[in-house]
Amino acid sequence: MKKLVLSTMMAAFLASGIYAQEIRDRKERQQARIAQGVKSGQLTAGETARLERQEARINRETRRDRAANGGKLTPAEKARINHQQNVESARIYNKKHNAKTAQ
């Protein structure tokens, strides 16, 4: 019984750490996409500033959620952050390709 409890706790701990790394990796990839858009001239200064503000908002929200839950994210918070990152990814793509989107 102790082994089962320990293995379950260890799996949950590892999963939370893995997901935290996924969030960081995705944030870094999206920042790199923005930087590449600036470098190539695909993004204007205004577009870049807006994308950076939106990225910062997601990052602040993630930090607040973690602080409220002892450094971890609930499944609902993970889903919400993933959705927000999906939306931001689409915004980056659309801005880099000058697509018309709802702000």
* Residue burial 60-70, b: 16+ Cβ < 10 Å; e: rest: eebeebeeeee
Give the tens place of pLDDT for each residue, 24-57.
Answer: 898 899 999 999 999 999 999 999 999 999 999 9
Give the tens place of pLDDT for each residue, 49-95.
Answer: 999 999 999 999 999 999 999 998 999 999 999 999 999 999 999 99
- Asked whether 57 and 45 are in contact (CB, 8 A), the reply is no
